[in-house]
Amino acid sequence: MNTAAAFRNLYGYEAAGIWSAPGRVNLIGEHTDYNQGFVFPLAIDRRARIAAAPRQDGLLRLATTAPGDPAEIRVTDLAPGRLTGWSRYLAGVHWAFGLRGVHVPGMDILLDSDVPVGAGLSSSAAVECAAALAVRELSGSEVPDLVLLCQQAENEFAGAPTGILDQSASLLAEAGHALFLDCRSRESRLVPLDLAEEAMALLVIDTKVSHAHDSGGYAERRGDCERAAEALGVASLRDLTLPDLVLAAPQLDRRAYQRARHVVSENARVLTAVAHLEAGRPIRGLGQVLASSHESLRDDFEVSCPELDLAVETAMAAGAAGARMTGGGFGGSAVALVSRPEAERIGAAVVRAFERSGYAAPEVFAVEPGPGARRDA
């Protein structure tokens, strides 16, 4: 059943519209966004769809086609902590519009998403960005910066201290392109990424190890980076080059040095990757920077896990041009850049390796750079 029909079935009338936004994979540039650095993600061809209609009585009713209880709350009662679970990503957007002085009406909303949850593919940003388009239109408001609005919903309402990578990718990406974003200036540009033309494919390997950015390691890494920047007297790690860091090494303990080295080297790798593609060189040539990024995330930033490492090692051994964990880490997904005719064989090799190691079966699928957030109907 499509989203419009599911809304009609549930609420007994037609939705005012359907809005959708994609999940993302980050090609390269991990844990750099909150250090004001560079990222290079693409939207994937998996999307969160929102069917919505305004209500006159100030009630917000939220439902999902996925397993999950519906939620109901008055718009005037919205506050962080009032809702838990999946519905806080939707309600948080309503709340963030309210903070900006927008009079937001009550609404009936149905979420229908095929972005895998907990897989490090930004299922929550996809929900927020689709909801932001719906709420902006249905409240007749003109809030210009939906990236920051959605990030605020995620940080303050849903309680996950993330950067702007995911929401920027979901809102600004375009089909057939990756998005180069400077997280300090917020300048961005689209870089063509035509995988099919070069007979390449991007495989997502969802390890099924669930990550959660509102607990533990992610916030700890942010803290490590802030302390390292402070110790070195810079506003953020973005302001350092590798030679700067080597010279400043005596001022940092081992762990802070490693965290900083990841961020500084990762920023350089993003610039290398962007320059490579913009010079019209083969996509396959990105393999080495992807592989180095993974090593740095594993050894210096320490956000990988055995399943992600196995996915990357097996894909590389089976002939991938490059592979790395993508997203925040501690589980979630890896991406592998492979030649199209070999995609199936490499995916199967990873599945077999997981089986031999006694890990839960991963899900392997190819993604294409898809369109960003938009109104569908």
DSSP 282-302: -GGGGHHHHHHHHHHHHHTS-
Of 15 and 147, the one with the shorter C-beta distance to ligand GLA is 147
The yes or no reply on residue 23 touching ligand GLA (CB under 6 A) is no
Please give the full DSSP string across 14-37, using - where no structure is assigned.
--SEEEEEEEEEEEE--S-GGGT-
Distance of closest approach, residue 104 Cβ to ligand GLA, in angstroms: 25
- When asked if residue 328 is in the footprint of ligand GLA (CB under 6 A), the reply is yes
24-32, 48-56, 106-114, 138-146 -> range binding ligand GLA (CB under 6 A): 24-32
166 is a catalytic site residue:
yes
Supply the minimum distance, in Å, between the C-beta of residue 324 and ligand GLA. 11
Report the run of H or E that residue 170 belongs to, with start and end: helix 165-172
Of 31-39, 136-144, 226-234, 305-313, the segment contacting ligand GLA by CB under 6 A is 31-39
Work out whether 31 is an interface residue with ligand GLA (CB under 6 A): yes
Exactly one of 112, 128, 166, 300 binds ligand GLA (CB under 6 A); which one? Answer: 166
Shorter beta-carbon distance to ligand GLA: residue 225 or 320: 225
Joined together, the tokens standing for residue 147 give 């990236």
144 three-state secondary structure: coil
Say which residues have a Cβ less than 8 Å from residue 81's Cβ, sequence separation at least 6: none
- Interface residue with ligand GLA among 20, 35, 162, 168 (CB under 6 A) is 162
Task: Name which of 124, 146, 162 is nearest 48 in CA terms.
Answer: 124
Which residue's CB is nearer to ligand GLA, number 3 or number 32? 32
Residues ≥6 apart with Cβ < 8 Å to 12? none
- Closest approach, Cβ 297 to ligand GLA, in A, equals 9
Q: How far is the CB of 162 from ligand GLA (least distance, A)?
A: 3
Measured CA to CA, the distance from residue 135 to residue 158 in angstroms comes to 18
307 near ligand GLA, judged by CB under 6 A:
no
User: Judged by CB under 6 A, which stretch of 89-97, 158-166, 232-240, 354-362 contacts ligand GLA?
Assistant: 158-166
Please calculate the CA angle 173-179-182 and round it to the nearest 5 degrees: 125
Tokens of 297: 């995330």
Q: Which stretch binds ligand GLA (CB under 6 A): 26-34, 184-192, 277-285, 362-370?
A: 26-34
Q: How far is the CB of 181 from ligand GLA (least distance, A)?
A: 11
Please give the Cα distance from 195 to 282 (Å, whole number).
10
> Of residues 149, 165, 237, 346, which one binds ligand GLA by CB under 6 A?
165
Q: Give the type of residue at 141.
A: S
Contact in structure between 203 and 315 (CB atoms under 8 Å): yes
CA quadruple 37, 41, 47, 51: dihedral sign: positive
Cβ proximity to ligand GLA: between 34 and 257 the closer is 34
Return d(Cα 330, Cα 333) in angstroms, integer: 9
Q: Which stretch binds ligand GLA (CB under 6 A): 29-37, 129-137, 310-318, 357-365?
A: 29-37
**Nearer Cβ to ligand GLA, position 328 or 372?**
328
From the list 327, 331, 347, 362, which residue makes contact with ligand GLA (rule: CB under 6 A)?
327
Choose between 28 and 310: whose C-beta lies nearer to ligand GLA.
Answer: 28
Instruction: Output the smallest distance, CB 261 to ligand GLA, in A.
Output: 16
Please pick, among 108, 166, 224, 300, the residue that the annotation labels catalytic: 166
| Residue 361 CA, distance from chain mean position | 23
Q: Residue 63: name the closest of 92, 44, 84, 87 by CA.
A: 87
Q: If binding is defined by CB under 6 A, does position 301 make contact with ligand GLA?
A: no
The distance from CA 140 to its chain's CA centroid, rounded to whole angstroms, is 28
Decide if 232 contacts 252 (C-beta within 8 A).
Answer: yes
Query: Which residues ranging from 260 to 299 are in contact with ligand GLA (CB under 6 A)?
Result: none
DSSP 8-class letter at 248: H
Q: Which positions touch ligand GLA (CB under 6 A)?
A: 26, 30-31, 33-34, 162-163, 165-166, 213, 327-328
Which residues are catalytically annotated?
A: 166
